[in-house]
């Protein structure tokens, strides 16, 4: 039998209906300052928490509910005679329902506020009540999520109480929330890059139809503390995003964001690997060039732009089957064209990728590393011949692309467009041969994600009349590659920075 509820909520939406429901069933309501005022002004009979605690709210609200009159009322085990006698003796009234939503630390930590302002958004009293009620869930119903008001009301309406299973679920939700909440606070306060415990604060955005394959279930979670690209997308058209869509879109978006603001770039991507990337005079030109890189693989792929998409480009995009088009903006007539393709996911994103760290799960562990935000350490010509200015532009372009190709990776490019991309090979020469064969052009440049272990890659480049090469260098046999370059009249640059992508 519910007799007393404590309601203390930062976000007041939905709480009136809940309070009214409880009042109509004779439940006494106790509330903290702001909630008390809100309920009272809306005609709810409510007891001020200070009357229960016999203490004023103090220290700017830092202490309101942190009191044995509250926590004794929550934590007493109703079947424990001693507990009940103790609270009776101390004139503590049991609290049967706790409704709390917390200070919005997740939002505030992302805002441009002073450190101390953020600290003040760390809720102490709320979590304390939630945790206490969740521990004692068999006797106390605990609501930490306003989306649960409805089900609690429905169950009380039907049976006069809330089932054991639902109480347990509500309690579990408290600790699920608290772990994310506390994780966000820990990450805000700790300055080490790799803390003793790995805390993440992600919230479920949607259940996905399936994961990488249809027999794998999946869900998508969005970071509560990071203001990244993928949690700032807006879907303007098309079917629901899938697991593979989100994963692929993330990489395509990273590729186009690798370039300078003044560059206009388009990336076609398939199976998490760029299949055609090109710079253009305008978006249309960039798309045509990216498409021409590999008109076969782009089918069913993802296309990303770093500039607004116009109607002419949209018409061209609509000619083939694509999964996603992502860009910072779309002209309204371009959007109209793209919307004629019912399933095509059209995504607007104005956020550059920002993540500091990335992680990958292994069986029983988690690998965490800094995201690869670097490009080159240096541009050191190591051959007799130096690349021309135009070749340097192409070398840099190819290096930006090869960063996103699975290792071992080789990109062949010319005139600001990829001609051949070879990736995911277990040795470098295969990746090189694959990319060079696809490119099938003379005078192109070659970028490699890691050093050449032998002189054979340069030999393959010479066979395809490559003009210039860019690679990190650092192999004990670098001299073989340098000598071969000099022999074949190829220029080569060492960057001193590897971009493995396993
Ligand atoms: N200090 C306390 O004892 C305390 N008790 C409850 N709170 C929080 O105060 C908020 C509600 O305050 P109000 O009813 O005054 O608007 C809730 O988000 C609740 O989690 C507290 N605030 C922070 O710690």
Strand-pairing partners, residue 5, are: 29, 97
- Per residue in 136-145, pLDDT (tens digit) is 999 999 999 9
C-alpha triplet 288, 294, 300: angle, nearest 5°: 90
pLDDT in tens, 297-320: 999 999 999 999 999 999 999 999
Overall residue count recorded for the chain in this entry? 502
Helices (H), 26-163: 33-41, 49-53, 68-75, 81-89, 105-108, 115-120, 125-135, 149-159
CA of 183 to the centre of ligand 1 (A): 20
Which residues are identified as catalytic? Answer: 135, 271
70, 126, 131, 132, best to mutate for ligand 1 pocket (most atoms within 8 Å of CB): 126
Decide: 309 in ligand 1 pocket, CB within 6 A: no
Mean pLDDT lowest for which of 61-65, 221-225, 227-231, 319-323?
61-65
User: Could you give the percent of the chain with pLDDT greater than 90?
Assistant: 97
Whether the predicted pLDDT of 424 surpasses 90: yes
Per-residue pLDDT, 357 = 93
For residue 437, the CA-to-ligand 1 centroid distance in Å is 66
Pick from 398, 155, 392: nearest CA to 265? 398
Confidence label for 233 from pLDDT (cuts 50, 70 and 90): very high
> Does pLDDT of 264 surpass 90?
yes
- Is 127 near ligand 1, meaning CB less than 6 Å away? no
- 35 Cβ below 6 A of ligand 1: yes
Q: How far is the CA of 1 from the centre of ligand 1 (A)?
A: 26
Whole-complex ipTM: 0.88
Report pTM: 0.92
Ligand 1 pocket member 448 (CB < 6 A): no
Residue 8 Cβ contacting ligand 1 at under 6 Å: yes
Q: Which of 305, 314, 307 is nearest to 332 (CA)?
A: 314
pLDDT band at 61 (very low <50, low <70, confident <90, very high): confident
CA of 75 to the centre of ligand 1 (A): 18
Distance 123 CA to ligand 1 centre (A): 7
Q: How far apart are the first and last CA of the chain?
A: 58
How many CB atoms neighbour CB 383 within 10 A? 22
Residue 477 near ligand 1, beta carbon < 6 Å: no
pLDDT of 471 above 90:
yes
Q: Is the CB of 102 under 6 A from ligand 1?
A: yes
Q: Which atom of ligand 1 is nearest to the CA of 31?
A: 14
Asked if pLDDT for residue 57 goes beyond 90, the answer is: no
Residues 63-76 have pLDDT tens digits of 999 999 999 999 99
- Paired sense of beta strands 322-327 and 345-349, if any: parallel
Task: Tell me the average pLDDT of the chain.
Answer: 96
pLDDT at site 265: 98
**Taking 90 as the threshold, does the pLDDT of residue 195 lie above it?**
yes
What are 27's two structure tokens?
């439940």
- The pLDDT tens digits for 112-126 are 999 999 999 999 999
* Closest ligand 1 atom to Cα of 126: 20
User: Mean pLDDT throughout 40-62?
Assistant: 93
How far apart CA 174 and CA 131 sit, in angstroms, is 7
Q: Mean pLDDT throughout 1-21?
A: 95
pLDDT of residue 461: 98
Q: Which residue has the tokens 């603001």?
A: 261
Q: Is 103 in the pocket of ligand 1 (CB under 6 A)?
A: yes
Is the beta carbon of 144 within 6 A of some atom in ligand 1?
A: no
Residue 430, pLDDT score: 96
Distance from residue 56's CA to the centre of ligand 1 (Å): 13
Residue to probe by mutation, ligand 1, list 58, 67, 123, most atoms within 8 Å of CB: 123
Q: What is the mean pLDDT of residues 331-355?
A: 97
Compute, in angstroms, the gap from residue 64 CA to the centroid of ligand 1. 7
Tell me the DSSP string of 387-451.
PPHHHHHHHHHHHHHHTTSPSS-EEEEETTEEEEEE-S-SSHHHHHHHHHHHH--SS-EEEESS-
- Token pair 């090869």 in the structure block, residue: 402
Residue 20, number of CB atoms within 10 A of its CB: 15
Residue of 292, 329, 330, 336 whose CA lies nearest to 439: 292
pLDDT-derived band at 191, boundaries 50, 70, 90:
confident
Closest ligand 1 atom to the C-alpha of 67? 3
State pLDDT tens for residues 87-101.
999 999 999 999 999
User: How remote is the CA of residue 66 from the centroid of ligand 1, in Å?
Assistant: 10
Check pocket membership of 34 for ligand 1, CB cut-off 6 A: yes
Q: Establish whether residue 55 lines the binding site of ligand 1, counting it when its CB lies within 6 angstroms of any ligand atom.
A: no
pLDDT value of residue 1: 81
CA atoms within 13 A on the CB side of 25: 19
User: Which residue among 125, 132, 177, 185 is best mutated to probe the pocket of ligand 1, counting the most ligand atoms within 8 A of its Cβ?
Assistant: 125
Residue 183 CB–ligand 1 contact under 6 Å:
no
- Which residue has its alpha carbon closest to ligand 1 atom 19? 126
The answer to whether residue 376 scores a pLDDT higher than 90 is: yes
Q: Residue range 25-39: average pLDDT?
A: 96
């Amino acid at each position: 039998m519910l007799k007393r509820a404590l309601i203390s909520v930062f976000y007041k939406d939905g709480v009136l209906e809940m309070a009214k429901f409880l009042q109509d069933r004779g439940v006494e309501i106790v509330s903290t300052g702001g909630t008390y005022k809100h309920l009272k002004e809306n005609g709810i009979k409510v007891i001020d928490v200070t009357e229960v605690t016999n203490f004023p709210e103090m220290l700017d609200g830092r202490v309101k509910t942190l009191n044995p009159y509250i926590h004794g009322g929550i934590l007493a085990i109703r079947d424990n005679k001693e507990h009940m006698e103790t609270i009776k003796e101390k004139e503590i009234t049991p609290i049967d329902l706790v409704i709390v939503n917390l200070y919005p630390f997740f939002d505030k930590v992302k805002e441009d506020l002073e450190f101390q302002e953020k600290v003040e958004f760390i809720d102490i009293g709320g979590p304390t009540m939630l945790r206490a009620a969740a521990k004692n869930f068999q006797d106390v119903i605990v609501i930490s999520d306003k989306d649960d008001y409805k089900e609690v009301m429905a169950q009380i309406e039907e049976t006069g109480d809330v089932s054991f299973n639902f109480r347990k679920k509500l309690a579990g939700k408290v600790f699920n929330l608290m772990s994310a909440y506390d994780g966000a606070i820990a990450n805000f306060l700790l300055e080490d890059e790799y803390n003793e415990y790995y805390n993440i604060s992600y919230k479920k955005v949607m259940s996905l139809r399936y994961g990488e394959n249809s027999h794998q279930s999946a869900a998508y979670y969005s970071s509560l503390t990071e203001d990244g690209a993928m949690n700032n997308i807006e879907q303007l058209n098309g079917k629901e995003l899938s697991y593979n869509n989100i994963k692929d879109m993330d990489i395509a978006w990273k590729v186009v964001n690798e370039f300078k603001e003044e560059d206009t770039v388009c990336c076609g991507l398939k199976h998490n690997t760029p299949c055609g990337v090109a710079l253009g005079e305008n978006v249309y030109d960039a798309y045509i060039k990216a498409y021409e890189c590999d008109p076969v693989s782009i089918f069913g792929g993802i296309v990303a732009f770093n500039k607004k998409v116009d109607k002419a480009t949209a018409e061209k995009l609509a000619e083939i089957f694509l999964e996603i088009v992502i860009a910072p903006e779309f002209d309204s007539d371009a959007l109209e064209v793209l919307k004629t393709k019912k399933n095509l996911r059209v995504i607007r994103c104005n956020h550059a990728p920002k993540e500091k760290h990335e992680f990958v799960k292994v069986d029983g562990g988690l690998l965490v590393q800094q995201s690869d935000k670097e490009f080159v350490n240096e541009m050191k010509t190591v051959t007799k011949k130096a690349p021309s200015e135009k070749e340097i532009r192409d070398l840099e372009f190819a290096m930006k692309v090869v960063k996103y190709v699975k290792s071992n990776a080789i990109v062949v490019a010319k005139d600001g467009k990829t001609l051949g991309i070879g990736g995911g090979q277990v040795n470098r020469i295969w990746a090189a041969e694959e990319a060079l064969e696809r490119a099938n052009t003379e005078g192109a440049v070659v970028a490699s994600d890691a050093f050449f272990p032998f002189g054979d890659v340069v030999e393959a480049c010479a066979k395809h009349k490559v003009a210039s090469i860019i690679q990190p260098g650092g192999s004990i046999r670098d001299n073989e590659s340098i000598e071969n370059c000099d022999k074949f009249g190829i220029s080569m640059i060492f960057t001193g920075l590897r971009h493995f992508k396993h």
